[in-house]
Structure 1
Amino acid sequence: MSFLGYLKTIKEKTGNGPAEFRTLAEQKAFTLDEKLKPEAKAGDIVNWLKEDFDLGQGYSMAIYALLKGIKDENSQ
């Protein structure tokens, strides 16, 4: 599945897109000024997304990649 495919499925499942997840991550203190804090680990993000949104590992890692800046909404 492409990265955009992951984001589309996440949006369908949760109702939240990249912008919403960036806001939610900031509210959870994982990010500051849309940048992932060094102390925020992938496992922390995965656990949060599993608990709050019932997202699996792959989908959670897609959001982690988005928050870390590895991928963005235009990535394939």
Structure 2
Amino acid sequence: MSFQAYLDAVEKKTGLTPRELLAQATERGFGPGTKAGPVVEWLAAEHGLGRGHAMAIVHVVTKGDRIASTHVGTSGTHRDASDRLWLDGVATRPADWPTA
């Protein structure tokens, strides 16, 4: 499953875009220096997310919308077509945005 697919699944599960969850995380004081544990706990308690989906949001909270180029264009399990993630929701993603 691509990183983008994880974020899309989080949106489907929560009804919130990754950007909206990022805003909530920022309001709670989470950011680049935050450890994963507190974010995962918050996402589980408030949004019912499991660890895998929560870790996708942890990445966005701590590293932004970029992913390592080692996952781009590969055939591995966690592959993506781009090193950028779309955070504004499936409905607003441009048709030409690279997805897996």
Higher strand share: 1
Q: Gaps spanning 5+ residues in structure 1: where?
A: none
Partner of 1:73: 85
Higher helix share: 1
Identity between Structure 1 and Structure 2 (%)? 34
Distance apart, 1:22 and its partner CA: 1.4
TM-score (norm 1): 0.80
Q: Gaps spanning 5+ residues in structure 2: where?
A: 68-83, 87-98
State yes or no: 1:20 paired with 2:14.
Answer: no
**Counterpart contact for 1:18–1:73, Cα < 8 Å:** no
Larger-gyration structure (1/2): 2
Alpha-carbon distance in 1 for matches of 2:85, 2:24: 17
TM-score (norm 2): 0.62
